[in-house]
């Protein structure tokens, strides 16, 4: 994955310099690398790379799909019916480095206030999070959608995620505000619980931050339970 790290560095700088026939060409570009739901091959993940910019030769765009094999940990977690012991089996080296797919699965969420939620981390890097209070008839609290976003392995047993939701007027359906939640989950030794630090922001339709606060939560993994 060294090429990904190099590309991320180029994006951070936002400037690339190339040369052809000893004539320097300067380019400035920006873009994104996002996971997709495209299944090119079994047990794989496909990212879409989208870039656009301008240079001394004119404007340009670049689109690329890159497919990588999933780690063995993700394959074992994604297979229903396996015991937790089998899902968590791994080498000593794996235990020292942390499992980069250990967050994959669905979890019960308990907020510091006592409210409950459900959150799912998919193997393709996406997150869906539902909490109590999404449906509301109280004028002071408009309804909102489930939260959607992405997650990344931060190293060891730490995982970060960013999710957004949309708050709207129940009568007119008009946009009221956005919610953005960023969290850092640290898995327990058995990978079936997690402690969470989070930052929640509400933004108006123009993107101005209205509320900014921090909090904590806990996750408990939802296990597979056979019918009989």
Tell me which of 158 and 45 has the higher pLDDT.
Answer: 158
pLDDT level of residue 71 (50, 70, 90 thresholds): very low
Q: What pLDDT score does 57 carry?
A: 74
Nearest CA-CA partner of 196 in 180, 182, 181, 216: 216
Cα 149–154–160 angle (5° rounding)? 30
CA distances from 101 to 74, 78, 94, 121, 151 (A): 5, 10, 11, 9, 10
pLDDT tens across 151-203, in order?
A: 999 999 999 999 999 999 988 999 999 999 999 999 999 999 999 999 999 99
Statement: residue 53 has pLDDT above 50:
yes
CATH classification code of 72-221: 2.40.128
Strand 58-69: give its sheet, edge to edge: 15-20, 23-35, 44-55, 58-69
Task: Give me the chain's average pLDDT, please.
Answer: 77
pLDDT tens across 92-125, in order?
A: 434 334 568 899 999 999 999 999 999 999 999 9
* Rounded Cα distance, 66 and 7, in Å: 13
* Rounded Cα distance, 158 and 4, in Å: 20
* Rounded Cα distance, 154 and 93, in Å: 17
Tell me which of 140 and 32 has the higher pLDDT.
Answer: 140
CA distances from 116 to 70, 130, 137, 191, 220 (A): 31, 9, 19, 20, 11
Q: What pLDDT score does 3 carry?
A: 42
Statement: residue 5 has pLDDT above 70:
no
The region, left, alpha or beta by phi > 0 then psi within -120 to 50, assigned to residue 201 is beta
Q: How much is the average pLDDT of 61-79?
A: 57
Helices within 28-167 (DSSP H only): 72-78, 84-87, 92-97
Statement: residue 90 has pLDDT above 70:
no
Q: Who contacts 228 (Cβ-Cβ below 8 Å, separation ≥6)?
A: none
**CB atoms closer than 10 angstroms to residue 157:** 17
CB-CB contact of 76 with 161 (8 Å)? no
The domain limits of the chain are 2-69, 72-221
Statement: residue 140 has pLDDT above 70:
yes
Q: What pLDDT score does 139 carry?
A: 72
Would the pTM count as exceeding 0.75?
Answer: no
* Rounded Cα distance, 213 and 111, in Å: 14
pLDDT level of residue 55 (50, 70, 90 thresholds): confident
Statement: residue 87 has pLDDT above 50:
no
* Rounded Cα distance, 38 and 43, in Å: 11
CB-CB contact of 127 with 161 (8 Å)? yes
Cα 80–84–86 angle (5° rounding)? 85
Statement: residue 74 has pLDDT above 80:
no
Q: How much is the average pLDDT of 128-140?
A: 85
């Amino acid at each position: 994955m060294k090429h990904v790290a190099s590309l991320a560095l180029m994006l951070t700088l936002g400037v690339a310099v190339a040369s052809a026939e000893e004539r320097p060409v300067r380019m400035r570009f920006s873009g994104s690398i996002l996971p997709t739901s495209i299944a090119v091959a079994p047990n794989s993940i496909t990212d879409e790379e989208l870039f656009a910019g301008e240079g001394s030769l004119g404007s340009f765009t670049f689109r690329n799909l890159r497919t990588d094999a999933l780690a063995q940990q993700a394959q074992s977690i994604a297979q229903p019916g396996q015991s937790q012991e089998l899902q968590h089996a791994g080498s000593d080296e794996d235990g020292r480095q942390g499992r980069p797919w250990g967050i994959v699965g669905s979890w019960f969420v308990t907020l510091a206030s006592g409210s409950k939620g459900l959150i799912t981390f998919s193997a393709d890097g996406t997150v869906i999070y539902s909490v109590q209070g999404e449906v509301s008839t109280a004028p002071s609290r408009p309804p909102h959608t489930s939260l959607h976003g992405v997650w990344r392995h931060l190293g060891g047993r730490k995982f970060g995620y960013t999710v957004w939701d949309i708050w709207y007027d129940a009568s007119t359906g008009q946009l009221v505000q956005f919610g953005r939640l960023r969290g850092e989950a640290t898995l327990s030794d058995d990978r079936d619980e997690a402690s969470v630090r989070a930052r929640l922001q509400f933004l108006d339709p123009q993107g101005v931050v209205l509320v900014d606060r921090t909090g904590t939560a806990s996750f408990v993994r939802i296990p597979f339970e056979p019918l009989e």
